[in-house]
Amino acid sequence: MLRHSLFVIGLVFMLPVATLVGQTRSSASATAVDEKELAKYLQKESEQSLPPQAIEGAIDPATYLVGPGDVLTINAWGLSSKEDLGLSLKVTPEGKIIIPSVGIIEANNKTLRQVQEEVRQACAAKYDRNKVKITAHVTQLRLVRAHIYGEVKSPGIYIGTAIDRIAYYISEAEGWTAWADEHQVQVRHLDGTVDTLDLSRLYQGGELAQNIYIRGGDVIYFPRIELTDHMVYIEGEVPLPGPHKIATGETALDFLHRIEALDRKSDLNEFYLLRGKERPVRLIFFGNGVEGLLASTTRLEHGDRILAPALKEFVYVRGAVFAPGKFPYVVGYKAADYVGLAGATTEAAGLKSLQVIHASTGKIEKGPDRDVERGDTIVVSTSTRSKFSQYLTITSQLATLVIAAAAIGTIGNNK
């Protein structure tokens, strides 16, 4: 048993030596072996399992730029089965494609169509073009790094594919801040060129021309708003209050839509435009604009201010109730319905004495069947009987104090 174990151990140690000897003896045919081994190695490296990639559609060979990490499959059609050429080759970090037994091709930053033509020309020296057709196609997209800085919520370096657009990187950076100038976003490329984008046209108008592809090494920069010219200010319950840049000739309605200041909670009857020392003017969204300025035609000017109060969603109940305070506004509810929610006390006067103070006009109406609007206040009065009872209680307490004081004075005189 021991002898058998030693024999096995000897074989284990002899294997590397035998391998080394075999490699030494084959040095005479190193050129042929190197080409075959290199082809196998490159094939294995390129065929590693990679996750599927979501793309918008077929890439355009005339515009797609090849770069390090792309995988190209090169085939020679028309050869015999023994000579068949079918390789998946990854572009090296230097931007080159190494085709065994053919040569090296410079591929970095060239269009796919240019690379395909150079592959055909390189293979022409070995294969007869009249008998063999050479094809080259991208079968795996490379990953790239891009930088996003400036007025974004999470600046840094992010990884995407070679066909990811700027919107992808903005999403990765969690969007831009309230102080970002989304009209002047810069994409700085490694070749020194710069693309300037107006992302409001992308996110509000759906213009894909503003949603460009990002290349490896690009810097996406969101500048800060400059408070110099073409600025307006919006105040109130809006997603992004504060200063905003405006386009030349932009109307109040277009501006409010662009910054998403209009939603279902906006009170469209309470938007006002303030310009210089002039009195505030109501912006009219419906009608002919007799009582104010039409939001759809009024062009904004530098320094304008827009007030945008929120729509009041509550009704307030005060007075002789168990639970005074605010209650959610319900369409169709009358004054008595809200008093029922608050719970009238035994000291409350009759329902006919309910008062509704309208927030929009300041007008006061009485009665349980009065219409109630958002922001209105309902006052539940105390009954006269309750007031008289309270008066008697207070008078009785005062009388008791007077009698007690008189008694104390009498005792003091007796002494």
For 245-265, the DSSP string reads E--TT-BHHHHHHHTT--STT
- Residues 87 and 93: their CA atoms lie apart, in Å, by 18
- Residues 157 and 159: their CA atoms lie apart, in Å, by 7
State the DSSP code for 111. Answer: E
Amino acid at 183: H
Catalogue the E-assigned strands of 178-298. 185-188, 194-197, 219-222, 231-236, 242-245, 272-274, 281-284, 293-294
Cβ pair 380, 321 in contact under 8 A: yes
Largest separation between any pair of C-alpha atoms in the chain: 144
Tell me what pLDDT residue 311 has: 65
Tell me what pLDDT residue 401 has: 61
- Residues 199 and 153: their CA atoms lie apart, in Å, by 16
Q: Which residues are bridge partners to 136 per DSSP?
A: 74
Tell me what pLDDT residue 8 has: 36
Tell me what pLDDT residue 384 has: 64
Tell me what pLDDT residue 252 has: 92
Q: Report helix, strand and coil shares of the chain as percent, to nearest 5.
A: 30, 30, 40
Tell me what pLDDT residue 366 has: 93
Cβ pair 147, 219 in contact under 8 A: yes
Tell me what pLDDT residue 351 has: 86
Tell me what pLDDT residue 32 has: 46
Tell me what pLDDT residue 19 has: 41
Amino acid at 392: L
The whole-model pTM stands at 0.54
CA 245 to chain centre: 20
Tell me what pLDDT residue 84 has: 54
| Positions in the chain whose pLDDT score sits under 70 | 1-53, 79-85, 265, 287-290, 310-311, 384-415
